Structure formats: structure tokens, C-alpha cells
């Protein structure tokens, strides 16, 4: 065992000395592997960062939440002419489902509206996301209040002019002042601020809660005619904990089809979008992007591998005389083999480490320019990059190392002379 360790140690130092004595050649070989690892791990790190950001956005939502509207969140088998004239879901349908749907945990009716300005005295919060909803919206979106309250069922039903504002909206309009009870101007009307949300930060899924305002949907229904192609309304719901989601969706769709007078062969004139399905769709996209990224980046890695193999063949030829002398002095084939194999692996590992260093620097620089998006280099990708480097070095160096180990000592010395 000690003999093998000694052989490995001597092979390692031979390889390091050989690389140090040919700095320019070593640098050029490193460059190919560095670019290859940078490309592969850079792509994986970018995809991991995007996936992490999306999952963080989804984590604030209940995965059992279901959106029902005239738009599909993902690919659909229907042709555009079949769904482009789907009607909006109506408030009456919302009331019907709330009244009759079994295992219903919570449901709300909302209308997607354009951003609006909110004014208070001489201050204006520009481009605020206005989110109409019923009182269940608070539970469905897992909103958290820093002060005040959400609108109640009476305010919901009557469409009272009350508003719950996000953190950034409160900072823009009421810096240093308690917003609760203050009256702001929105939709050309006076609204009373009854609640302020906790700071949530930007999200990749849905509107930024900090830059949003929540109002009773019945107030907005008096402003917008929802039976047109310019607005989109939606039902957001979730079943009770423990209820079977597939059965819940089937019961909901059957009631909605009956309310719309659809017969057995008629297609649904609405789309059911479970967030779980959306999360699965995101996973499919990131998996596809990862696969494509690895294939494309693999070509860079291939070039780096060929570069190492080429340099190793040159190194074997240059040191043919030395190999002959080593073998004539008793060096075994496995010593010569390990010597060149170590040289190739070390060369590839150094290239890989430099590639990982550049990826890490890239994530730091990119994160500093994007306040709400963090680029990450995970330990899994570091281990993967190092492993790929070692494997590339092993593959690229194995043939030159074998050819060096099989040289006849007399012929090797003669060739060197």
C-alpha cells in the first residue's frame, strides 16, 4: 500500500513540474477547459437561480390554489379559434360555486385591471397594481398586515370605497404618517385606507405586493363592464385541507358547465389552471433549458478536452528520451502511465477551478446589478464542475499516457538522441 502511495506522490510531483516548466502551453490548455467549465456551470447556475426565484415566488402561494378564467397558463390542445371567444367568468358564477361547491376551502372573484395612480394630498404613487377581490382574497394569497385590517364581508358585498395598500405604496404616500383612516384618491373616488401590508419584496410570480392596492371587487364592477374583451376576470379557489384536488376540480367544472348550458360533447368554455400544474410546467421548462444548455456548453468542453489531449501527445513526444531513461532505471509502466495521467487530470482540474472562479465572480457581479434577483452558485454545481474537469482530464490523457507507458526504453532513448 505504501509503495502505491509513493508512486502516486512521485507521479503528482512529476506532473506539477512538467506543467510548471511549460507555462505558456499549460495556460493555453487551461484556457480551453476554463471556457468549457465556465459555459456549462454558468448555464446551470443561471437556470438554478431562475428556478429558485420562481419556486420562492410559488412558495408564497398555496400549491392547491386553482385559477379559473378564459386564459390558459400553459400549452393547450385547443386551437386559437376555439378559445379566443371564451366568455369571462361572472360574479354570478362565483356566487353559485361559493354556495354549492363541496369541499370548498376559499374562493374569490377578481378582475385584472390596468395600473392606476393613487393620490394623497400632493403626493402620488404611480403605476400601482390594483387588485380587486372578495374578502377570501386575504387567505388565498396569504397576505400579511403590518397594521389595520382587510375589508370584511359587508364592505365586500356593498363595494365600499376602502383600500388595503402595500408597503411601498404606504412609504410613497405616508412616509412618517400613520396611513390608517386616511383618505386617498383612486378611480376618481375617495377611498379610506383600512390596512397596510407587511413588506414582501418582489416576486417572479404575480404582481409585487409592495406596489399593490387591494379593493372590494364590487366597487370595481361598478366601473368596468366585465362582459367585454378588454377586461379579464377570474375565480381563484382552493379545496379544504385533505380534499382530493382532482375530485374537487371535476365537481367545480361540472357545475360551471351546467351553469353555462354546455352539453356532453361541448368543450369547456373556460380554463382550469391549478398552481400545481403550473409548477410542474415550470419544472419541465427548466429541465429542457438545462438539457439544451448542457448540450451547447458540452461543445466548449469537448474543445477543451481535445486541447488537453493534443498537449499531452506533444508532451509525450518531447519527453520520449526522459521516459526511456526512467524505464531503463526500473520505472514501471504504471508509474509512467500515472505520471502523464496525473498531468492531464491536474491540468483539467486547474482549468475547471478557474472556470468555477469566473462563474462565481459572474454571479457576484450580476447579483449586484439586480436588486431583486440573486444569482447563485450551488455546491452541487461546484462538485459537478470539478468532477467534469477530472473526467475530461482522465479521458483526454488516457491514450497519451498509455502510449508513453508502452514505449520501449531503448527505442525511446535512441529517439531522444
Q: What is the pLDDT of residues 247-295, one digit of tens each?
A: 999 999 999 999 999 888 889 999 998 877 666 667 777 777 777 777 7
Mean per-residue pLDDT over the chain, rounded: 81
Q: Are 119 and 231 contained in the same domain?
A: yes
Q: Is 315 helix (H, G, I), strand (E, B) or coil?
A: helix
Tell me: pLDDT of 403 over 70.
Answer: yes
Task: Report pLDDT digits (tens) over 204-256.
Answer: 566 788 889 999 999 998 887 655 556 789 999 999 988 888 899 999 999 99
Taking residues 345-373, what's their average pLDDT?
78
Sign of CA dihedral 399, 405, 410, 413: positive
Q: Give the pLDDT band (50/70/90) at residue 80.
A: confident
∠ CA 125-126-132, rounded to 5°: 85
Q: Are 161 and 118 contained in the same domain?
A: yes
Q: Are 106 and 127 contained in the same domain?
A: yes
322 or 197, greater pLDDT: 197
280 grid coordinates: 410542474
Give 244: exposed, middle or buried? Use CB within 10 Å, 0-12, 13-18, 19+: exposed
What is the pTM (predicted TM-score) of this model?
Answer: 0.64
Write out the H or E segment, with its range, that includes residue 82: helix 80-83
Q: Angle at which helices 333-369 and 275-318 pack, to 10 degrees?
A: 140
pLDDT value at position 191?
Answer: 94
Residue 72's CB: how many other CB atoms inside 10 A?
Answer: 16
Strand partners, 212: 129
Q: Are 238 and 377 contained in the same domain?
A: no
pLDDT value at position 192?
Answer: 93
pLDDT value at position 62?
Answer: 64
Q: What does DSSP say about strands 123-133 and 212-216: parallel, antiparallel, or unpaired?
A: parallel
pLDDT value at position 9?
Answer: 66
Residue 210's CB: how many other CB atoms inside 10 A?
Answer: 20
Tell me: pLDDT of 166 over 60.
Answer: yes
Per the structure, the complete domain to which residue 157 belongs is given by: 66-273
89 grid coordinates: 367568468
Q: Are 95 and 51 contained in the same domain?
A: no
Q: Are 22 and 104 contained in the same domain?
A: no
Q: Are 127 and 102 contained in the same domain?
A: yes
What is the total count of domains within the chain? 2
Q: Are 339 and 198 contained in the same domain?
A: no
Tell me: pLDDT of 336 over 60.
Answer: yes
Q: Are 100 and 12 contained in the same domain?
A: no
**pLDDT cut 90: percent of the chain above it:** 25
Q: Are 257 and 291 contained in the same domain?
A: no
Q: Are 76 and 98 contained in the same domain?
A: yes
pLDDT value at position 5?
Answer: 65
141 or 130, greater pLDDT: 130
Amino acid at each position: 500500500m505504501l509503495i502505491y502511495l509513493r508512486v502516486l506522490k512521485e507521479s503528482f510531483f512529476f506532473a506539477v513540474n512538467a506543467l510548471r516548466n511549460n507555462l505558456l502551453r499549460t495556460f493555453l490548455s487551461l484556457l480551453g477547459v476554463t471556457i468549457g467549465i465556465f459555459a456549462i456551470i454558468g448555464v446551470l447556475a443561471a437556470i438554478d437561480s431562475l428556478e429558485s426565484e420562481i419556486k420562492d415566488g410559488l412558495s408564497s402561494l398555496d400549491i392547491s390554489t386553482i385559477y379559473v378564467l378564459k386564459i390558459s397558463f400553459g400549452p393547450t390542445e385547443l386551437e386559437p379559434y376555439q378559445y379566443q371567444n371564451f366568455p369571462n367568468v361572472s360574479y354570478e358564477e362565483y356566487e353559485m360555486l361559493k354556495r354549492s361547491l363541496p369541499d370548498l376551502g376559499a374562493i374569490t372573484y377578481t378582475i385584472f385591471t390596468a395600473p392606476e395612480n393613487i393620490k394623497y394630498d400632493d403626493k402620488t404613487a404611480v403605476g400601482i397594481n390594483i387588485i380587486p377581490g372578495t374578502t377570501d382574497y386575504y387567505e388565498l394569497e396569504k397576505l400579511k398586515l403590518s397594521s389595520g385590517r382587510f375589508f370584511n364581508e359587508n364592505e365586500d358585498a356593498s363595494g365600499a370605497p376602502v383600500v388595503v395598500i402595500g408597503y411601498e405604496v404606504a412609504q410613497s404616500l405616508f412616509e412618517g404618517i400613520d396611513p390608517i383612516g386616511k383618505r386617498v384618491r383612486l378611480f376618481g373616488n375617495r377611498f379610506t385606507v383600512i390596512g397596510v401590508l407587511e413588506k414582501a419584496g418582489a416576486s417572479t410570480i404575480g404582481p409585487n405586493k409592495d406596489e399593490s392596492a387591494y379593493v372590494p371587487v364590487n366597487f370595481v364592477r361598478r366601473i368596468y363592464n366585465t362582459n367585454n374583451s378588454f377586461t379579464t376576470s377570474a375565480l381563484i379557489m382552493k379545496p379544504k385541507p385533505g380534499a382530493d384536488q382532482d375530485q374537487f376540480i371535476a365537481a367545480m367544472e361540472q357545475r360551471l358547465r351546467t351553469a353555462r348550458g354546455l352539453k356532453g360533447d361541448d368543450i369547456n368554455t373556460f380554463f382550469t389552471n391549478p398552481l400545481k400544474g403550473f409548477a410542474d410546467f415550470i419544472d419541465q421548462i427548466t429541465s429542457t433549458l438545462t438539457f439544451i444548455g448542457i448540450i451547447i456548453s458540452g461543445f466548449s468542453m469537448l474543445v477543451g478536452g481535445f486541447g488537453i489531449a493534443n498537449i499531452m501527445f506533444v508532451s509525450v513526444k518531447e519527453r520520449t528520451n526522459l521516459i526511456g531513461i526512467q524505464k531503463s532505471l526500473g520505472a514501471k509502466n504504471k508509474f509512467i502511465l500515472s505520471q502523464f495521467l496525473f498531468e492531464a487530470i491536474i491540468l483539467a482540474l486547474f482549468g475547471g477551478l478557474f472556470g468555477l472562479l469566473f462563474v462565481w465572480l459572474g454571479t457576484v457581479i450580476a447579483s449586484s446589478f439586480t436588486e431583486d434577483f440573486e444569482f447563485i452558485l450551488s455546491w452541487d454545481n461546484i462538485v459537478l464542475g470539478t468532477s467534469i474537469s477530472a473526467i475530461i482530464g482522465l479521458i483526454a490523457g488516457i491514450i497519451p499516457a498509455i502510449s508513453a507507458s508502452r514505449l520501449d526504453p531503448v527505442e525511446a532513448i535512441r529517439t531522444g538522441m
